[in-house]
A and B are shown apart, each in its own frame.
Chain A
Amino acid sequence: MESVRRQNHIILGVQSLKKYFSIRRGFFQRVAGWVKAVDGVSFEIEQGKTLGLVGESGCGKTTVARLILKLLEPDEGKIIFQGSDISEFTEKDMKPHRKEIQIVFQDPFGSLNPRMTIGLSIEEGLRILGIKSGRSRKERLEKLLKMVGMSPDSADRYPHEFSGGQRQRICIARALSVDPSLVICDEPISALDVSIQAQIINLLKDLQDRLGLSYLFISHDLNVVGYLCNTIYVMYKGQIMESAPAEELFENPCHPYTMSLLSAILDPEPGKRQKMKLLEPDLSDSLITSAGCNFQGRCPIEEPRCRKEEISFEKVGEKHIVRCWKVAEK
């Protein structure tokens, strides 16, 4: 049945998505300012492909994930999922679409209900699918557990009996329990050991091949993203700074922020190791952005113009865009 889906079919399109949080101060809770957590983010995910969203802590990656899941209401912008704009949907309208988008969280310890056996946790999803009979739920549950590499008899155990990697597998099984077409992986491996990280990445890749899943893969680890993703978006302070196909981004990074991120990757070969371009720590009031480029103050190639004008995207390659006017001058 899945062959109906065409290649290059866009499953999720996000258009100039915005989410501002108000900072309230004082006795009367007046609005003292706005945190532009997500400030005009646009991207598209193709069916069966993986999009990587990279950026430092607090740049709004997780907010993007929560907006797409409709756990938060976007202030502006469109979220077009399988042809319908879900950003306008009420909770009731959203209900039948919920199961199509699933999420795997960063913290495997907090993302499973500590008072429920993992079997029951996963069965919640099967209930949503409308599988009523207990026996067929059990069969399906075993299948799901096998699929993520867990033994079926672990179903009646509680989350605290598992290791971080095992819990992450269980979380993946729960996400897959409702047959989603898009899975958002919100830093699914950053809380795990390096050896376990590889297992989880391979599992994710394997599942994508088998089930034709699309991923939105959020991470701050460019190495992993480069291995797993087809397209990479680099995010900084709520805005996309650069986006390109994975190989293109690694070969030809254009934005100074991307360059510094790439230089922070450690190469196992000592001779190949390039000098790290470490960024100055951001000591400004990072919550509230002023006019001009968001990267101002930390940018090594900054000029006065960067603080005055709004910076728009420059086209570098066919699918390679950069939010930096100096690239165009080169």
Chain B
Amino acid sequence: MMNIEEKTFNQDFQFQVPLAPKQTRLQAFWFLFKQNRLAIVGLFIFILFFCSALIGLFLTSGPEPIFDPAMIRLQEKLRPPLAKPNLDSLRPEEVPTLDFYLMGTDDLGRDVFARMLQGAWVSLTVGFVAVGIAVLIGIFMGGIAGYFGQYHIKIDHILLTFILVSGAGLVAVKLIHFGALLLLLGLGHILYSILTKKRSREKAVSSWSAFLSKNAVSVDTLIMRIVDIMLCFPSFFLILTVVALLPASIYNIMIVIGLTSWMGTTRFVRAEFLSLREQDFVAAVKALGVSNFRIIFRHMMPNAVAPVLVSATIGIATAILTEAGLSFLGFGVPPPHATWGNILSDGKRFIFDAPWLTFIPGIAILIVVLSFNLFGEGLRDTLNPRLRERH
């Protein structure tokens, strides 16, 4: 082995080259981002919303919350914003914490401000968790399609998957004997193919096994067609159907929204990976002998997240809107819990008598969604390499 340490080097060979002043990527990013006023406004509202939702969670939860969103005061119903409570008719524990109703009360005399605070947390978590799920699935699927896309799935793989899935399905519908048989068959085949892996490199003998090991479809085609199929469904109605079948809970809604909105991320990640895979720096680390896993996650992913980040930011806005829509239709979070959607839905009956019941949550949804969109577009403009002067 040749060893670099064993060599001695002439010091005169080195020469120092002046380097550009040090500027981290974050500094450069912030310099460009802050020139976009609307994006800064969006970021500011986003932070405000985040803080109020977080504080709102603490203020409205627990056995004795500071703002009680569930406190019913029938004698104080439909009070306008900033109205003083009628202290004579209220028991001491019913008196609102602020001594006035900041956003009025609804038809049951509940404090709308407290309900909005509680709803903010729902919107925030639905937005982030749903998009988190979508982004994770999207990155995984897109990464596989982009990096391993040229590999082919063979016919026996498809048959095997079919056998295993149908076996599991039969077990699930209580046809245990037949299902277990199929499962055993599938697992047996996997074991068999692992044991005979070394020998299978030689040419296949019979025409039947040759047919089984024929390339059926490339991984890329498979994943992208699944994406196309998923995009064909009108997702809101898909969500409505699924939510109608599942017990109403905020977690189900998050998961369902997440499972129906990963396709965009998949396409972005795949497109980025297709172009990154051909780049010299990826070829260079491949030549170094770096593992595929490390190439994908250490070298390619950081270069592919920019469009994902943008689409995720805008996706949060869409998820918040979807949740509000579901709650408005009564398919969302079950009633005692307040969300912006069901405050809006409850208030629509009193739109002429108590317009604040519809306008306050409506404007809140508008502002939050708008701020996410503005922030997302600002991100996109800043991360777009064509708008950068250098690199």
Contact = CB atoms under 8 A, between A and B. Distances in A.
Interface residues of B, number: 35
A114 B391 contact: yes
B303 A113 contact: yes
Interface string B325-345: 000000000000000000000
Interface string A150-167: 110010011011110010
A111 interface: yes
A116 to B, nearest CB: 7
Main secondary structure of the interface of B (DSSP, over half): loop
A140 B289 CA distance: 19
Contacts of B390: 160
Given A95-B289, A105-B283, A206-B13, A161 B4 contact: no
A128 B4 CA distance: 15
Contact of A146 (B9, B281, B284): B9
B93 interface: no
Nearest to B282: A113
A179 B284 contact: no
Nearest to B284: A111
B19 interface: yes
Contacts of A178: 288-289
B302 interface: yes
Interface in A59-115: 66, 69, 71, 95-96, 98-99, 101-103, 105-107, 110-115
Interface string B279-309: 1110111111110000000010011000000
Given A112-B281, A179-B3, A125 B22 contact: no
A146 B14 contact: yes
Given A105-B280, A115-B302, A143-B4, A149 B14 contact: yes
Given A157-B22, A178-B288, A179-B2, 19 more contacts: A2-B2, A66-B283, A71-B283, A71-B286, A96-B289, A98-B288, A105-B283, A111-B279, A113-B281, A113-B302, A113-B303, A116-B302, A121-B281, A127-B290, A128-B288, A149-B15, A151-B17, A160-B390, A162-B20
Interface of A: 1-2, 66, 69, 71, 95-96, 98-99, 101-103, 105-107, 110-116, 121, 124-125, 127-128, 140, 143-144, 146-147, 149-151, 154, 157-158, 160-163, 166, 171, 174-179, 181, 206, 210-212
13 contacts: A2-B3, A71-B286, A99-B288, A103-B283, A110-B281, A114-B303, A127-B290, A149-B14, A158-B25, A162-B20, A166-B17, A171-B284, A177-B288
